[in-house]
Structures are given as structure tokens and as C-alpha cells.
Structure 1
Amino acid sequence: MNDPIAFFITIANYGTWLPGDERGWVEYQRGWKLPCRPLELEALARMSEEACILNSGQRELVESQIAETCEHREWILHAQNCRSNHLHAVIGAFETAPKKVRQDLKAWCTRRLKRETNSGRENWWAERGSIRWVFTEEELERVIEYVNDAQDRKHLEIKPDQ
């Protein structure tokens, strides 16, 4: 199999997509699951702080930090979009493990948010996040379009997979 040309990374904010969620959810290493209200209530009860909803200024900080991290690591940033409850990034990070890319994005964005927002928040991101491998130029165009323009169009809906 060929090496990927990019990774399509999605990271939900802390507490915004819990196990059991009414939209469906992803169980780690087991895949997509149907909604389960009791499980969602249990996850909600275990949260240590409120769900993280980013305002426009915080979203700008996240996007700035992603660009800075990619530049520093010499990764190719094809597209990014930080929303109020999740972020997407399409990154060419050759010879870097995709989990390391996701981990670095979360860590550096967390540092920047803590430093520049004067927030006492400890949890900004969900524990993991989705990583999809992009192998062709056609796939790359499709995920870039989704990230930049089409997240709300039904025919391009992409569910998190990890």
C-alpha cells in the first residue's frame, strides 16, 4: 500500500461528543455505535468541568497555533477549520506518525489557549480524535472542500472513525 499524502484530523472539544451521544459515537478500537442515553448520562456525570465551547477569539488562536506548529514541524497544512465544538485539520506530515501529529496539535493549542485566554480550564479537547489517512489527490480535494466549505452538506458528511 502507498504512503498517505495527508492526514485528515478531527478533534472534538472536551465534553461535546460523549459516549452514548444521540448522534451516535465512536468506541475506541471498536468503531461506530448507536446512541445510548444511559451511557451518555454516565459520561456526563464523570466530567470534571463543563463542555468546552470555543468563542471566535479562541478559535482564531487555535488556527494560528496549528499553522505555527505545522511551520515549525515542517508539515504541510492543506486546510484547517476550528469550530466552536471541534476542529479539523488536513496535514501532510511525512515521516511523522499520525497520532504524534494529533498529539502535538492538541498539546500546542492547549498551551496557547491557557496562556492567552486567562482561563482556569484544564480540559480543552476530547481524549483522542479521528485520524483518516488520505492517499489520493481526489481524496485530498474532497477533505479540503469539506473542511473549508462543506461541513454541513449532507452528501459530504464525514463521521469520526476513531
Structure 2
Amino acid sequence: MSDYAGFLITWTTYGTWLPGDVRGWRERSQGVQPARPQLESWCRDRLAHDAVVLRTGDRDTVEDACREHCRFRGWELLAVNARSNHVHVVIAASVSPQTVRDQLKANCTRRLRTQTEPLVVERTWSRGGDCQVLPNEEALADAVAYVLEGQDRQH
């Protein structure tokens, strides 16, 4: 029996949510951090290329790639929502959330580069991503609702 019900995993497209961002950001091992505009500006000045924004077709490709990979691995994909600048998935899997995240990002990149209108950039995604362990069925249901219904709400 697992000590968790599943994972809420989020990753961003390259250059769209930088350290210091006013929306909040996470520093490795430090948690959520306040806005630091000078840090954000410094990071933006050092981008290797323009920020990546997913087109509607790209978003469909990403969601299909997540579904395909989860079927292949035998993971239970409970929700997926690809936005213009980030992706959310809720998954039940018997491997680490970081493994799930990294495999999904790699598969999505491959599919984006081979779709009818390819998205070919040096870096598609930001490094890493947020992996939240969902400890119980209630947390899992809340995460699914957030991913499927909460993305278009004004905060």
C-alpha cells in the first residue's frame, strides 16, 4: 500500500515563469519565494532564446503525448491540462513524481518536434518542475478539479 494517492505535477515552458516572477516562484529546497523583479530581469536577459508559448495545436499534442505515455507505462492519468505556458498532470504511478515528470516532458518534446507543424526550439521546457505528493483521495480529487476546472478562473 502506498503512502500517497498520486501526484500533481506542473512544469512550465522555457522562459515564461522565471525565478523572481511576481506570480511567485519556487527555489529548490526553499519553497515558495516572493517576487524579486531584479532577479527576474537578470534571468530574462540570459535566456538562450525567446520564451516558448504553446499554440492550440501544441497544447493538444502535449495532452495526447501525456495520455499515450501513461498508457504505455501503465500509469493512471487522472487529469491533464496543457496551457500556453505550463502543463498540469494528476497521475497515480508507482515511480517517483520526478521520474514521471521527466519522462512526460521528454515524450512531449519528441511529439512537438514531429507533429505536422513542428515546434522546434533549443529548449521547450524550463528545468525541473513542481511535484506535489497527494496524500489521500480528497487531495487527489481537489487536484483533479483544479487541473480540469480551475485553470480559467481569475485569481
The bucket for the TM-score relative to the shorter chain is over 0.9
Q: Deviations over 1:40-80 (max 9, x none)?
A: 11100111111111011000000000000000000000011
Structure-2 residue corresponding to 1:105:
104
Structure-2 residue corresponding to 1:93:
93
Q: What letter matches 2:122 in structure 1? A: E
Structure-1 residue corresponding to 2:36:
36
Moved more, 140-149 or 2-11: 2-11
Q: Deviations over 1:96-118 (max 9, x none)?
A: 11111000000000011011133
Give the RMSD, CA atoms, in angstroms: 1.6
The answer as to whether partners of 2:9 and 2:101 remain within 8 angstroms in 1 is yes
The Cα of 1:120 is off from its aligned counterpart by: 3.2
Q: What letter matches 1:43 in structure 2? A: C
Q: Count the aligned residue pairs.
A: 154
Aligned-partner Cα distance in 1 for 2:139–2:149: 15
For the pair 1:124 / 2:144, whether they are aligned, the reply is no
Structure-2 residue corresponding to 1:160:
none
Aligned partner of residue 16 in structure 1, secondary structure: coil
Query: What TM-score do you get using the length of structure 1 for normalisation?
Result: 0.90
Aligned partner of residue 60 in structure 1, secondary structure: helix
The Cα of 1:151 is off from its aligned counterpart by: 2.6
% identity of equivalent residues: 41
Structure-1 residue corresponding to 2:26:
26
Structure-2 residue corresponding to 1:16:
16
- Within 5 Å, give how 1:128-147 maps onto structure 2: 128-147=128-147
The answer as to whether partners of 2:112 and 2:120 remain within 8 angstroms in 1 is no
Structure 1: gaps of 5 or more residues:
158-162
Structure 1 outlier segments of 4+, above 4 Å: none
Closer, same or farther in 2 for the Cα pair 1:20/1:74, shift >3 Å? Answer: same
Structure 2: gaps of 5 or more residues:
none
Q: What letter matches 1:66 in structure 2? A: C
Aligned partner of residue 15 in structure 2, secondary structure: coil
Structure-1 residue corresponding to 2:5:
5
